[in-house]
Amino acid sequence: MTPPLPQSILFCCDHNAVRSPMAEGLMKKFYGLETYVQSAGVLADKDVDGFAIAVCAEMGVELARHKSRSFDEMQKLGDELSSFDLIVALSPASQLEAMEITRFYALQVEYWPIMDPTGIGEGRDHKLTAYRKARDQIIDRLTSKFGAATT
Instruction: Give domain limits for the chain.
Output: 8-146
In this prediction the pTM is 0.94
pLDDT tens-digit profile of 129-138? 999 999 999 9
Task: Determine if residue 71 is left, alpha or beta; phi over 0 gives left, psi from -120 to 50 gives alpha, anything else beta.
Answer: alpha
φ, ψ dihedrals at 20, nearest 5°: -70, -40
pLDDT tens-digit profile of 27-73? 999 998 889 999 999 998 888 999 999 999 999 999 999 999 998 99
Q: Answer whether CATH 3.40.50.2300 is correct for domain 8-146.
A: yes
Angle (CA) 79 3 111, round 5°: 55
Run of H or E including 120: none
Determine what percent of the chain falls in helix, strand and coil, rounding each to the nearest 5: 45, 15, 40
Q: How far apart are CA 137 and CA 108, in angstroms?
A: 21
